[in-house]
Amino acid sequence: FWNSASFNTETSYLHFPTFHGELSADVSFFFKTTASSGVFLENLGIQDFIRIELQSPSEVVFSFDVGNGPSEVIVQSRHSLNDNQWHYVKAERNVKEASLQIDQLPQKSHSAPPDGHIRLQLNSQLFVGGTASRQKGFLGCIRSLRLNGMALDLEERAKITPGVEPGCPGHCSSYGNLCHNGGKCREKYNGFSCDCTFSAYAGPFCKKGKHISAYFWTGTSVTYNFQEYYTLAKNSSSHASSFYADMTLTREAITFAFRTTRTPSLLLYVGSFYKEYLSVILTRNGDLQIRYKLDSHQDPDVFSLNFKSMADGQLQRVKINREEERLFVEVNQKERMKFILSSGTEFNAIKSLTLGKILENSDVDEETMKANSQGFVGCLSSVQFNHIAPLKAALHQSSSAPVIVKGRFTESNCGTLTGADSTSSETTHSFADHSGPIDEGKPLANAIRSDSAIIGGVIAVVIFILLCITAIAIRIYKKKGIYSKNETKGSENEDSAESALKSELSMQNTANENQKEYFF
């Protein structure tokens, strides 16, 4: 698929053995160019020929002759094809018709004459990127060239051909948009790859979800710096703000998941050099609260979601999207709310993002300060701020990653729906070790044990009922057995009694007869 060659001069070309497509021929390839015209390939015979060329910046022509005179199939595009982006070409010819398709444009076709010649007879070499006359050569890249389903090795032939180089540069200019969720496109000799280092996702195109979760303990702080440290940034806020002017945001896309039973808690904080900030906190009663301060001279906009306490030890998923003054919040893929900001639309000169406790001095409102005094104790998972994954960068950081971690911080699977059990011991320890007020609700471990106890109780009741039914059935069966035995014994006793009675009567009759004989 990535086998390609770069044609650097109009007189350069690659040659291959004669193309044999007498009755059926199909040719497909990709091209990329900034030139206005050029021949992609050509093969000649004594009279017959086949050629595909870029005739103008927006027109590709498939021409051939099988002895009936030259025929052409033309596809015109509304957009320029010499935009240095990859374009797909597919040309086919058989005894009935010829067709040409460019990218996703409608296919154009041309019917063969009913009583004409049908065999395409070629005898010269196949020229790729040029012609036998070395005129109108192609400037640019050709990739994935296939003739009748067989791929031609352009790279191997380009290694021994002057004016042609194996491979094509600039794949990212065409395919960089295939790297999703903050993945960076990296050029390769024969293609590109997506670097997912700073994305919360994995996979070839940074699209595969990966629940990267960590357990935060008392006082833990993870800070992702959007900019490198500069001395002038620390000494002069005015110089720093002008230096970081390019980090002004008018929209944010934030996603994360968490588990905790502590309130108040600071879930996420984004600060700037202009004393503007965004904080996401849990209030003392467990409400989720988003606080935007985009004007240093105004109080922050405060948006509360108070439909239930979110400090219940269950996994909570949150999405926050801002587009200028409009704010959209989604919780657990169910509750959706829309808010309007009044403090401004630009988040100027952003400096850093913090998960857990803010350790540096920050000019924040009183509620954010209260939440920060506790920091965050619990599980954070799948944190993404625009195209940045701070949790992933902290857990899998390289020496160049702009992340600072303070305090105890361990990777865990607590961010999955089945991950609660594996973190129960961590949670139990953390709540025994608390400092300051905590929510009156039971710790996560106790909640888990409570659920387990309920399930165990239900199973025990079901087993008890089954045992009772079995015992009753056995008792009934035994009673039936005893009754049948008694019946049998009764009949046997009656028979034996009757026999005994008959024997006694017989003996009496014998005695009587003896007595009669005696009297006589």
pLDDT, tens only, 56-81? 999 999 999 998 999 999 999 999 99
Backbone angles phi, psi at 300, to 5 degrees: -70, 150
Instruction: State CA 59 to chain mean position distance.
Output: 39
pLDDT tens digit string along 253-276? Answer: 999 999 999 999 999 999 998 889
If phi > 0 it is left, if psi is from -120 to 50 it is alpha, else beta; for residue 361 that is beta
Q: Residue 111: beta bridge partners? A: 97
Higher per-residue confidence, 34 vs 401: 34
Residue 227 binned pLDDT confidence (cut-offs 50, 70, 90): low
CA distance 518 to 520: 5
Closest Cα partner for 86 from 204, 2, 182, 193? 2
CB atoms closer than 10 angstroms to residue 365? 15
- Is the Cα dihedral 293, 294, 299, 305 positive or negative? negative
> Could you tell me which residue, 508 or 87, shows the higher pLDDT?
87
| 3-class secondary structure, 156 | helix
Asked whether the beta carbons of 107 and 152 are under 8 A apart, the reply is: no
Distance CA 449, CA 414 (A): 16
Residue 240 contacts residue 323 (beta carbons within 8 Å) = no
Q: Is the pLDDT of residue 397 over 70?
A: no
Q: What is the mean pLDDT of residues 223-242?
A: 51
Residues 6+ apart with CB under 8 A from 142: 4, 5, 7, 29, 30, 31, 40, 128, 129, 154
For 333-352, what is the mean pLDDT? 89
pLDDT band at 434 (very low <50, low <70, confident <90, very high): very low
* Residue 246 pLDDT grade (very low, low, confident, very high; cuts 50, 70, 90): low
Segment (H or E) for 447 = helix 444-519
Give the pLDDT confidence score for residue 442 in this predicted structure.
34
Q: Give the pLDDT confidence score for residue 454 in this predicted structure.
A: 65
Rounded mean pLDDT of 172-180? 78
| Confidence label for 286 from pLDDT (cuts 50, 70 and 90) | very high
Specify the pLDDT at position 292: 95
- The DSSP-derived string for 456-518 is HHHHHHHHHHHHHHHHHHHHHHHHHHHHHHHHHHHHHHHHHHHHHHHHHHHHHHHHHHHHHHH
Question: What is the structure's pLDDT at 448?
Answer: 38
Name the pLDDT band for 2 (thresholds 50, 70, 90). Answer: confident
Q: Are 339 and 303 within 8 A, CB to CB?
A: yes
Amino acid code (one letter) for 478: K
HEC string for 309-342: CCCCCCCEEEEEEEECCEEEEEECCCEEEEEECC
Rounded Cα distance between 271 and 257, Å, is 21
Mean pLDDT within 230-241: 40
SS3 71: strand
If you ran DSSP here, which 8-state letter would residue 386 be given? Answer: T
**Banded pLDDT at 458 (limits 50, 70, 90):** confident
Instruction: Give the pLDDT band of residue 131 (cuts 50, 70, 90).
Output: confident
Angle formed by the axes of helices 444-519 and 424-432, nearest 10°: 120
Q: What is the pLDDT of residues 76-106, one digit of tens each?
A: 999 999 998 889 999 999 989 999 999 999 9
Angle at 499 between CA 493 and CA 500, to 5 degrees: 90
Helix ranges restricted to H, 141-254: 154-158, 171-175, 231-235, 237-243
pLDDT above 60 for 108: yes
Give the total residue count for the chain.
520
Residue range 182-203, pLDDT digits in tens: 788 887 766 788 888 767 777 8
> Taking residues 340-356, what's their average pLDDT?
91
Q: Is 69:88 a contact under the CB 8 Å cutoff?
A: no
Contact partners, residue 295, CB within 8 Å, separation at least 6: 276, 343, 344
DSSP 8-state code for residue 376: -
User: Across the strands, what pairs with 26?
Assistant: 92
Instruction: Note the pLDDT of residue 171.
Output: 73
Domain architecture of the chain: domains with CATH? 4-166 (2.60.120.200), 213-228+246-411 (2.60.120.200)
CA gap 363, 269 in Å, rounded: 12
